[in-house]
Amino acid sequence: MTEESLEINEADLLSPSPEATVVDRWTLSSAPEESRAAAMAWWPVARIGLKLVIKRWIFWVFIALGLINFLFFSAMIYFLAGLAAQLKGQRFGEGPLEFARNFIFTGTGESFRDFITSQNTVVMLLLAISGAVLVGNDFRFRSLTFYLSKPLERWQYFLGKLVATSLLVSMLTLLPCLALFIEYGLFGDTFDYFFESRRILFGILAYGLLVSVGMSILLLGVAALLQRTISIVMVWGLIFIFLPIVTEVIHEAAGGSDYWKLLDFWSLLQWCSNAFFGIESGLYSGQPWCPIAALAAWLGAALWAFWSKTRAVEVVS
Please report how close the Cβ of residue 77 comes to other proteins at its closest, in angstroms.
39
Please report how close the Cβ of residue 164 comes to other proteins at its closest, in angstroms.
13
Looking from the CA of 104 toward its CB, the CA atoms found within 13 Å total 20
Decide if residue 54 touches other proteins (CB under 8 A).
no
Q: Report the distance separating Cα 97 and Cα 107, nearest Å.
A: 14
Q: Which of 86, 90, 121, 143 binds other proteins (CB under 8 A)?
A: 143
Please report how close the Cβ of residue 57 comes to other proteins at its closest, in angstroms.
12
Q: Which stretch binds other proteins (CB under 8 A): 149-157, 162-170, 270-278, 292-300?
A: 149-157
Decide if residue 18 touches other proteins (CB under 8 A).
no
- Contact present, 152 and 45 (Cβ < 8 Å): yes
Which are the contacts of 113, defined by CB distance < 8 A and separation ≥ 6?
203, 207, 273, 274, 277, 279
Decide if residue 148 touches other proteins (CB under 8 A).
yes
Please report how close the Cβ of residue 225 comes to other proteins at its closest, in angstroms.
19
Residue 248's nearest CA partner among 235, 233, 271, 267 is: 267
Shorter beta-carbon distance to other proteins: residue 67 or 148: 148
Tell me 37's DSSP state. P
Shorter beta-carbon distance to other proteins: residue 157 or 277: 157
Shorter beta-carbon distance to other proteins: residue 122 or 133: 133
Peptide bond into 23 cis (omega under 30): yes
Shorter beta-carbon distance to other proteins: residue 20 or 289: 20
- Contact present, 49 and 165 (Cβ < 8 Å): yes
Shorter beta-carbon distance to other proteins: residue 43 or 202: 43
Decide if residue 55 touches other proteins (CB under 8 A).
yes
Q: Which of 90, 145, 257, 308 binds other proteins (CB under 8 A)?
A: 145
Please report how close the Cβ of residue 236 comes to other proteins at its closest, in angstroms.
23
CA dihedral (199, 200, 205, 207) in degrees, to 10, reads 100
Number of Cβ within a 10 Å radius of residue 22:
6
Q: Report the distance separating Cα 48 and Cα 66, nearest Å.
A: 23
Decide if residue 8 touches other proteins (CB under 8 A).
no
Q: Report the distance separating Cα 156 and Cα 43, nearest Å.
A: 8
Please report how close the Cβ of residue 126 comes to other proteins at its closest, in angstroms.
18
255 backbone φψ class: left, alpha, beta (φ>0; ψ -120 to 50): left
Judged by the rule CB under 8 A, the positions of this chain that interact with other proteins are 1-3, 6, 10-11, 13-17, 20-29, 34-36, 38, 41, 44-45, 47-48, 51-52, 55, 137, 141-143, 145-153, 156, 311, 313, 315-316
